[in-house]
Structure 1
Amino acid sequence: MLQTPSSSSMMPETHADARPRRSKRHSVRDWVSTEPGAWSIALFPSLAAWAAAGPTWASTWLVALWALCYCVQFTAARWCKSRFRRRYLTPMVTYALILAAAGVPFLVLHPGILWWAPIYVALCGVSLLASWMRRERSLWANLVAVLAASAMATVIAPFGSRCAAPAATDHLPRFYDPTLLPSLGVEIAVGFALALFGSVLFVKTMIRERGRRSYLHASWTYHAILVALGFLCDVLYGVLALALLARAVALPLIARRRTVPVKVVGITESIMSLLMLILIPLGA
């Protein structure tokens, strides 16, 4: 039988009823990144290298560890930005413990990956400093994020089945070991770094730096140079750079005549990110 709602359920929500819902919603947001674009920047270079180098158990494990690293990073960034509020401490510590539990066995099996540790400690330190200064949207902070995400393509590539010396990571090199930098991983990393930094410039021309000619000219010049470099290296790179240039020019010009919602910018960048994920590995 259908039940008739009681009168109490038909009453408007009181402040006492709304507070638990709001607190529950806030608690969920404390654990999940609310920026889809950040997820694509963090993971797409890794996924591209994972696919191009040939998926293995080790490379799949490493991609999962990198996703956990990102969870630790964005919760730690919130903790620093809030001046170490307890609210953000629990998600950060929980993600860090999960990362340690999943990551220590990987380090035991592949200690050679520790060669990258000083580089990522420095990048993470600069990122957290930007959050503490509340400058995480600055150009230099965005550049650090792009470099960290893009470099992961080089970290993951040696674990692929198509690399010449996948066992190079099974020992800890005393100094520099060239097998830790396979050309495939380096090419994917450079391709993503160049393309993603162009995305950073474009998004700034549409949102935070909208109307500033200096940023607009810098974005157009950068993308034009990217097109030239792309076609010099590979047709697929040139096609990708041309698509990036088209949106970098078209949307700011449209924004002069009418309002372009932030959602449209986000959808456009999602499409561009998918093009990067497809064309950069194919070009490499």
Structure 2
Amino acid sequence: MRTGWIPNQHGAWAMLIVPFVFGAVLAARAGVAGWWLLPLFCCWMLGYFAFHDASLWLKAAPRRRPTYVRPLLTYTAASAAAGVLTLVLGGWALAGWALAYLPLLLPALWLASRRKERATVGGALTVAAACLMTLVARFGDPRALLARDAAWECPALVAVLLFAYFFGTVLYVKTNIRERGSRGYLAASIGWHGIATLATVAWAATGHLAWWWPLFFAATTVRSAVVPRLRWSAKKLGFVEVGFTLALGICFLLW
């Protein structure tokens, strides 16, 4: 497998795909889904490949940088082509979402240039960018969010729940691999999941969420507290995460 062509961040696939799928499902439920979603998905995935290669290019030593130029240019051009097709099919107002992505992606690239792309804040930025795709796929035109009607509340809450889960997973994975044994990261991971659980309890109590959402996040809290002590392999951790992601999907479909 040639360097730079296929991202090696296996845990990122669910984070990239799930928010888009949730947004597309919400669009279908609202009767606003269209063919523009297909090139949008291609633009999004190819754009991530380009972002990944840009990060590798920025942090690489000068003699290694030419390795990433061809995949970077290829994925950038392909993503741009898919983006243009998306605008043609879905409307040029979609381009407005670029303004929301700039403050998320530019700092992440800067962190990569400082060889700090795995910093927690970098993880938060990339997770936020991924979860924002829920709103992009649901609305298309970002101006729809300014209408302040009830239509945006459910998609926005879905995006928040996705961020709560996927950023919690970033902290949780760190406690099992790079920050194994760190009490600070363990406390942060458990605390984040605990706060997410309490928030979903409050939302469920006010009728905004069903009861299974607090149960789901309670399960992630238990996972974040217990699994790091078991010292599982990365492969076993991955299988468990597949199960939690499927459970997340079931919670959403039962909404």
Q: TM-score, normalised by structure 2?
A: 0.86
- CA 1:76–1:277 in 2, change beyond 3 Å: closer, same or farther? farther
**Alpha-carbon offset, residue 188 of structure 1:** 1.4
Whole-Å separation in 2 of the counterparts to 1:139 and 1:281: 30
Q: Please state whether the residue corresponding to 2:254 is helix, strand or coil.
A: helix
Instruction: Give the aligned partner of residue 112 of structure 1.
Output: 93
Partner secondary structure for residue 136 of structure 1? coil
Change (3 A) 1:46 1:98: same
How far does residue 131 in structure 1 lie from its aligned partner after superposition?
1.2
2:45 to 67, 80, 97: 67
Give the equivalent residue in structure 2 for 1:99.
79
Structure with higher RCO (Cα < 8 A, 6+ apart): 1
Q: CA-atom RMSD, angstroms?
A: 2.4
What SS class does the counterpart of residue 7 from structure 2 fall into?
coil
Q: In structure 1, what is the Cα distance between the partners aligned to 2:148 and 2:97?
A: 13
In structure 2, distance between residues paired with 1:113 and 1:178: 18
Compute the displacement of 1:70 (Å).
1.0
**Residue 127 of structure 1 aligns to a residue in which SS?**
helix
What does 1:124-139 align with in structure 2 at a 5 Å threshold? 124-139=105-120
Say whether residues 1:52 and 2:22 are aligned partners: no
- Deviation digits for residues 133-163 of structure 1, max 9, x if unmatched? 111111000000110001110111125xxxx
% identical equivalent positions: 29
What is the distance in 2 between the residues matched to 1:277 and 1:75? 30
2:238 matched to 1:266?
yes
Tell me what 1:195 maps to: 165
Aligned residues: 242
Is the 1:45–1:277 Cα contact (8 Å) retained in structure 2? no
Taking structure 1 as the reference length, the TM-score comes to 0.77
Structure 2, gaps ≥5 residues long: 204-209
Report the alpha carbon displacement of residue 106 of structure 1 after superposing the two structures with TM: 2.2
Contact in 2 for aligned 1:65/1:103 (Cα 8 Å): yes
1:1-284 map, 5 Å: 25=1, 27=2, 29-54=3-28, 55-83=33-61, 85-109=65-89, 110-159=91-140, 169=141, 176=146, 178=148, 182-233=152-203, 234-255=210-231, 260-283=232-255
Counterpart contact for 2:40–2:82, Cα < 8 Å = no
Deviations 1:205-247 (A, max 9, x none): 1111111112112221221222222233221211220221121
Partners of 2:137 and 2:61 lie apart in 1 by: 34
CA-CA distance at 1:178 after TM superposition: 4.6
Q: Is the 1:191–1:280 Cα contact (8 Å) retained in structure 2? A: no
Specify every segment of 5 or more residues in structure 1 that has no aligned partner in the other structure, as ranges: 1-24, 160-168
Contact kept in structure 2, 1:205 and 1:211, CA below 8 Å:
yes
**Residues 229-284 of structure 1: CA deviation (Å, up to 9, x unaligned):** 223322121122022112112212323xxxx212222222232222223323533x
